[in-house]
C-alpha cells in the first residue's frame, strides 16, 4: 500500500483534482489517478473525494492511498446486481436490496467492491454507461436491505432533505438474543461518534448526538431465547439500532462488535450467525420527486437470515 500526503499551494488553485495529483511526482498517469479516486482512495481534508474533476483550493490537504495490484483485482471480485435487487428506478432515484457483507461505499482498500460501483456497472448494462451514482444514505457493511441512491444532484438534495427532516419512514428487522418482557419499547439516548480506535459507538450521558428507536417484538422462541424485533428508528446515527438493542441487553445475533460473547446455539444456527449479523433494512417509505405520492419499497430477506428464521420455527419465514 502506497500513500501520499499533499498540500495545495496558491499556484494550483482551481486545478482539477486528478490533474493536480498527477503533477506532484506520484509517478502515476492522470487516468490511473482517476481510477484511484473512483475507487475511494483519495481524501480532501479527511473527507473522501468522489469527483476527479473537482477543483482544489489553496491549503487543501490531499491524502491518497492505493495498491496497484488491488486496483487490478477489482474487476475479478466485482459484485453483480441482479434484476431482483433493483427495487425502484424512477425520477433519478434508485432503491437496491444490498446484500450483507457489501460496503455501501468505497473503502480505503480499493480491491473491495462496493454498492455504488455495482449500481454504476448495472446502469451501464441497462444502456447508461456515463451515469453518475450518488449514495443518499448508508447501511453498515453486514446490514442488508434497502439503500437509496440517486443519479442526479437534484434528486440527492431532495432525498437527503427528507432524511434530514425525518420524513422518511424506515423499518428494520432484527434477530436478537433474549426475550423482552414488553411487546413494545423505546430507546432514547445520546450516542457518541464512532471511536477511531475501537470502531464502537457508545451510549453517553452528554456530549453525544440524540437518538431514538421504537421496537416491537414480532415473535419469540423461548427455547432458543431469541426474538424477532421490528425496529423503527426516528434518527439515523451510526450503529444506532445495534447499540440501542445491545444497551437493552438484546444484542443482534451475529453482531461481532456489540455481541462479542453469545450463548452457544445449535450447530446449524451457529454456522448461519457466523456469516453476518441479522439486521435487515426491510422497508423504506419516501417521496421520490416533488409532487409525487410517497413510495414504499420492501427488500426480501437475505438467504442466511431467512434460513435462520425457518430453522428457529419463526412464522415470519413463511409469511
Instruction: Render pLDDT for 95-125 as a digit per residue (tens, 0 to 9).
Output: 999 988 888 866 555 545 678 888 888 888 8
Contact 245, 257 (CB under 8 A): no
Cα–Cα distance between 148 and 146 in angstroms, integer?
Answer: 7
> If you average pLDDT over residues 221-226, what whole number do you get?
91
Q: In sequence order, what E strands does the chain have? A: 2-7, 42-44, 47-48, 61-66, 86-90, 93-98, 134-135, 144-150, 169-177, 184-191, 203-204, 209-221, 226-233, 279-286, 295-298
What are the residue numbers of the active site?
140
Domains of the chain (ranges; CATH) run 2-66 (3.10.290.10), 75-164 (3.30.2350.10), 169-318 (3.30.2350.10)
Confidence of residue 196 (pLDDT cuts 50, 70, 90): confident
Q: Which pLDDT score is estimated for 76?
A: 36
Cα–Cα distance between 65 and 43 in angstroms, integer?
Answer: 9
Confidence of residue 226 (pLDDT cuts 50, 70, 90): very high
Least confident of 6-10, 80-84, 197-201: 80-84
Cα–Cα distance between 314 and 37 in angstroms, integer?
Answer: 45
Instruction: Render pLDDT for 228-247 as a digit per residue (tens, 0 to 9).
Output: 999 999 999 999 999 999 99
Q: Which pLDDT score is estimated for 199?
A: 87
Q: Which pLDDT score is estimated for 273?
A: 74
Q: What is the mean pLDDT of the chain?
A: 86
Amino acid at each position: 500500500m502506497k500513500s501520499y500526503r499533499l498540500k495545495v499551494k496558491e499556484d494550483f488553485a482551481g486545478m482539477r483534482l486528478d490533474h493536480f495529483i498527477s503533477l506532484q511526482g506520484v509517478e502515476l498517469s492522470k487516468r490511473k489517478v482517476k481510477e484511484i479516486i473512483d475507487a475511494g482512495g483519495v481524501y480532501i481534508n479527511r473527507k473522501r473525494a468522489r469527483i476527479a474533476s473537482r477543483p482544489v483550493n489553496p491549503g487543501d490537504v490531499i491524502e491518497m492511498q492505493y495498491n496497484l495490484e488491488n486496483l487490478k483485482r477489482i474487476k475479478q471480485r466485482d459484485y453483480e446486481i441482479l434484476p431482483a435487487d433493483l427495487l425502484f428506478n424512477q425520477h433519478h432515484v434508485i432503491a437496491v436490496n444490498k446484500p450483507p457483507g457489501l460496503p455501501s461505499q468505497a473503502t480505503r482498500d480499493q480491491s473491495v467492491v462496493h454498492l455504488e460501483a455495482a449500481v454504476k456497472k448495472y446502469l451501464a448494462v441497462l444502456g447508461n454507461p456515463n451515469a453518475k451514482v450518488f449514495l443518499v444514505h448508508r447501511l453498515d457493511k453486514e446490514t442488508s436491505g434497502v439503500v437509496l441512491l440517486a443519479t442526479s444532484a437534484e434528486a440527492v438534495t431532495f432525498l437527503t432533505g427528507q432524511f434530514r427532516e425525518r420524513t422518511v419512514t424506515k423499518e428494520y428487522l432484527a434477530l436478537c438474543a433474549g426475550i423482552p418482557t414488553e411487546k413494545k419499547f423505546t430507546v432514547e439516548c445520546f450516542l457518541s461518534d464512532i471511536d477511531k480506535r475501537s470502531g464502537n459507538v457508545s451510549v453517553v450521558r452528554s456530549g453525544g448526538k440524540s437518538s431514538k428507536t421504537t421496537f416491537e417484538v414480532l415473535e419469540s422462541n423461548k427455547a432458543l431465547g431469541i426474538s424477532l424485533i421490528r425496529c423503527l428508528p426516528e434518527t439515523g446515527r451510526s450503529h444506532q439500532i445495534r447499540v440501542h438493542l445491545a444497551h437493552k441487553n438484546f444484542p443482534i445475533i451475529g453482531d461481532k462488535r456489540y455481541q462479542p460473547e453469545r450463548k452457544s446455539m445449535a450447530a446449524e444456527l451457529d454456522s448461519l450467525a457466523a456469516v453476518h449479523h441479522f439486521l435487515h433494512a426491510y422497508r423504506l417509505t419516501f417521496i421520490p420527486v416533488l409532487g409525487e405520492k410517497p413510495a414504499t419499497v420492501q427488500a426480501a430477506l437475505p438467504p442466511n437470515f431467512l434460513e435462520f428464521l425457518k430453522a428457529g420455527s419463526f412464522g415470519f419465514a413463511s409469511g
